[in-house]
A and B are shown apart, each in its own frame.
Chain A
Amino acid sequence: MTMSEGDLAVAQLKYVRQTTLEQQPPPASLTGIVGWLRANLLSSPFNIVLTILISLFFLWIIPGIVNFLLIDAVWTGADRDACREIVQNRPIGACWPFAWERMAYFTYGSYPIPQRWRVDIFFAMLAIGVFWILWLKAPRRDLAAYYCFIVLPIVSYILLSGAEFLGLPHVDTVLWGGVLVTIVVSAVGIVVSLPIGILLALGRRSDMPTVKLFSVFFIEFVRGVPLVTVLFMASVMLPLFVPEQYSPDKLLRALIGIAMFASAYMAEVVRAGLQAIPKGQFEGAQAVGLGYWQMMRLIILPQALKITIPNIVNTYIGLFKDTTLVFIVGIFDLLHTIEVSRLDPKWATPVTSTTGYAVAAIFYLVFCYAMSRYARATEARLAASERR
């Protein structure tokens, strides 16, 4: 060790420490659980009050929910007597035997029991399609889009509605219900709204005045009115606009309403994506001699859609929740089957309604939460690919 003159001067001062101290651990009050509590929960008097209030709230609400759903819940029983406080002489939570007995109705509605395997196959095919298109490492993902947007709709229609020449008896859409209808309505909304939404978005940015005017008018009109009125329009006005013999059935009318509504919202999402593409991309595509559709298909839309995926998924979440509104025009979606079942005298108890709504809430929570996680993961992935 060499010493410079300055160091020597310091070394002569007795009160200056010559050796470096051992590194000390941080004080106990700043680390571990105590430190975390102090920093995150108890940093100021106001925070202490908030922490106490929210803890009290959780202490009140969580045991309430757990008691209702699990501890006080009834798990077996044949009818309402199993879920009545007067009969059982104990506090009663959720009435699961009711939900369990009605589960088939919640899933298929009034679809004929011998034909329900067709619905199961439809669910399986849909699940395959969803995994194929969303799972990034799936084999042959190039075929997934054709499967989801062309094969699946046609096969599902034949399968669910029936085709006499294949030996599948016709099942009227009046009998469809429950999760089946919820999924069909949202799937049709999803499959139809993307292409129409893209066309409307392109139309809105078009140079042709009439095309632009028509697109703007459609988008702003549909976005300016509530979905309920669009559904009413589809269900009471549409039959007036077509010759009597072609009058569409109730489910188809609701589907048209949902598809119109979803397309207008999708158009705005896609337009936002198109606006984010720099002008150089358009000019570059034109410079290499691509026509309008080639430019859109090969250069612009792939980039625009990629950055809008999170927003598209968020629109789908909204659409999935909005499918409950077909209830109002008399379609038996999941919520409607629950609403009908909870009034069944066989299960009439004070807890039946809440049990039914809990089933629906769990269903929608799981699906919407999964979709929003996917959107967030995609966002993170896209952000990572943008980083240099």
Chain B
Amino acid sequence: MSIDLRAGEPPASVPFYNDPKIRSIAYQVALCLVIAFLIYGAASNAIDNLKRANIASGFGFWEQTAGFDISQSMISYTNQSSYGRAFWVGLCNTLLVAAVGIVFATLIGFVVGIARLSKNWLVHKAASGYVETIRNIPLLLQLLFWYNAVLKALPDLRDSVKIPGGAFLNNRGLFMPEPIAQSGFSFVVGAIVIGIAGSIGYHLWARKRQEKTGEQAPVFLVSLGLIIGLPLAVFFAAGLPLTLDYPEAGRFNIRGGIEILPEFAALLFGLSIYTAAFIAEVVRAGIRAVSHGQTEAAYSLGLRAQPTLRLVVVPQAMRVIIPPLTSQYLNLTKNSTLAVAIGYPDLVQIFTGTVLNQTGQAVEVVAITMAVYLTISLVTSLLMNIYNSRIALVER
């Protein structure tokens, strides 16, 4: 061979500025310098501006007295509590509406998603109409509609709608009897815990036995009996240790009972109905992703329609459904910040709204708020990745 192989030695004609390695380092250094310069500029400006506006910095405000009231709180809070306490109240309210919203959105979403695949023409047209309409109207508009046009248009206090069972509905909310636990109620709680633990144990035992002998056990019925029947039996045996505190309508307000604020209800309706439309699409795509051959193969093995769905189609569809479903849950949680538009005391309304206005410490308050949502997002996606790697198809 007459070709001269001088491997590893770059041709002498390439100047250093055309060397990809040197170029790459130069670009990266330039980018770092630009970012460092921007951060330095922003920080020095912020220090100047804060000094001029006489705004304190640091997290000292956390312990100061808040001085404002919050209409709904799950933990004890008065206007003498600290800003830090107000933060926790807001976070609890956000998590509450997100959790309840996720439950409702999932229920509606799965029903609508399955309805879109129905063979019944009316059912699938109605489901498509729901999805197309709800997805194309901004969530904020829907929230304002529920709050201002529906819930605020309910009759006022004096003309409250009386719902059988001692509840009142008016434009200040829904007032329901509050169950109050008496001394023996802890036995019932204990029975529920025992019931859940027992049914998990029974399930594991039944699965082991089925793997060994092929015999099936009535897992569902036994679990139902353990989780619902046992606590009920204890409840009656303990002599009904639960009383109801009925709301009483006064002239200007209603005393006692549990109150569901119209702000909470509007946010819950809006979030559930809006997110359900997206979940419906996720569910539909997931079910369609399971090829028809799977159903046919299950039928040819002798499985009937119901076990086919439960043992063959749903487990495979869930693999496709769960990742986008989680991101819809995250969207719902993030969208709950729209509470600020209708005055539901969530984290953003309390913290980025009232606390920011009172203290003026924009940087700290916005940073804390963002950190909270970022933590929720990152933790969820971390769990999602773990789940995904567990259920991912293991190919040969």
Q: Which residues of A are interface residues toward B (Cβ below 8 A)?
A: 39-41, 43, 47, 50-51, 54-55, 57-58, 207-211, 214, 220-221, 223-229, 232-233, 236-237, 239-244, 317, 321-322, 324-325, 327-328, 335, 339, 342, 350, 353-354, 357, 360-361, 364-365, 368-369, 372
Contacts and interface: CB of A to CB of B under 8 A. Distances in A.
Given A214-B31, A364-B137, A41 B369 contact: no
A41 B121 CA distance: 6
Contact of A335 (B50, B122, B138, B352): B138
A136 to B, nearest CB: 24
Contacts of B377: 223-225
Nearest to A323: B138
A43 B137 CA distance: 34
A106 B139 CA distance: 19
Contact of A207 (B24, B340, B348): B24
Interface string B361-384: 011001001100110011000000
Given A226-B334, A232-B352, A58 B126 contact: yes
Interface string B24-55: 10011001100100000110011011101000
Contacts of A41: 120-122
Contacts of A207: 24
A243 B137 contact: no
Contacts of B121: 40-41
A229 B373 contact: yes
A356 B276 CA distance: 25
A232 B136 contact: no
A203 B363 CA distance: 28
B117 to A, nearest CB: 13
Given A240-B45, A240-B362, A327-B341, A221 B123 contact: no
A325 B338 contact: yes
Nearest to A224: B377
A357 B144 contact: yes
Contacts of A368: 135-137
A239 B122 contact: no
Contacts of A335: 138, 140-141, 144
Nearest to A370: B136
Given A240-B362, A327-B341, A226 B373 contact: yes
A328 B139 CA distance: 13
A364 B373 contact: no
Contacts of B50: 240
B276 to A, nearest CB: 16
Contact of A360 (B24, B141, B374): B141
Nearest to A367: B136
B381 to A, nearest CB: 8
A221 B362 contact: no
Contact of A243 (B45, B123, B135, B352): B45
Nearest to B49: A240
A100 to B, nearest CB: 19
Contacts of A365: 133, 136-137
Interface of B is mostly: helix
A94 to B, nearest CB: 12
Given A210-B31, A240-B46, A324 B140 contact: yes
Interface residues of B, number: 53
A211 B139 contact: no
B181 interface: no
Given A210-B31, A365-B136, A369-B136, A224 B373 contact: yes
Contacts of B334: 225-227
Nearest to B125: A54
A170 B109 CA distance: 50
Interface stretch (B145-153, B197-205, B232-240, B313-321): B145-153
A2 B27 CA distance: 88
B141 A237 contact: no
Contacts of A237: 362-363, 366
Given A40-B119, A233-B370, A321 B45 contact: no
Contacts of B149: 353-354, 357
A286 B24 CA distance: 17
Contacts of A360: 141
A211 B118 CA distance: 49
A28 to B, nearest CB: 20
Contacts of B49: 239-240, 244
Contact of A211 (B27, B42, B48): B27
Contacts of B137: 321, 361, 364-365, 368
A36 B140 CA distance: 41
Given A244-B52, A324-B140, A372-B136, A229 B337 contact: yes
A187 B369 CA distance: 29
Contact of A214 (B35, B42, B139): B35
B144 A225 contact: no
27 contacts: A50-B122, A51-B122, A207-B24, A208-B24, A208-B28, A210-B32, A224-B373, A225-B377, A226-B335, A229-B337, A232-B369, A233-B370, A237-B362, A237-B366, A240-B46, A240-B49, A241-B46, A321-B137, A321-B139, A324-B138, A327-B140, A353-B149, A354-B145, A354-B149, A357-B148, A364-B137, A368-B135
A228 B338 contact: yes
A354 B374 CA distance: 36
Contacts of A317: 136
B290 interface: no
B122 A54 contact: yes
A225 B153 CA distance: 33
Given A225-B374, A226-B335, A240-B49, A50 B348 contact: no
B284 to A, nearest CB: 15
B123 A50 contact: yes
Max chain A C-beta neighbours (<10 A), residue from B41, B132, B138: B138
A50 B120 contact: yes
Max chain B C-beta neighbours (<10 A), residue from A220, A226, A322: A226
A241 B49 CA distance: 8
B356 interface: yes
A322 B138 CA distance: 7
Contacts of A322: 138
Contacts of A229: 337, 348, 352, 366, 369-370, 373
Contact of A228 (B118, B133, B135, B340): B340
A54 B123 contact: yes
Contacts of A50: 118, 120, 122-123
B148 A353 contact: yes
A18 B369 CA distance: 87
B27 A328 contact: no
Contacts of B369: 229, 232
Given A327-B341, A361-B141, A369 B119 contact: no
B125 to A, nearest CB: 9
B374 A221 contact: yes
A353 B31 CA distance: 51
B153 to A, nearest CB: 6
A225 to B, nearest CB: 5
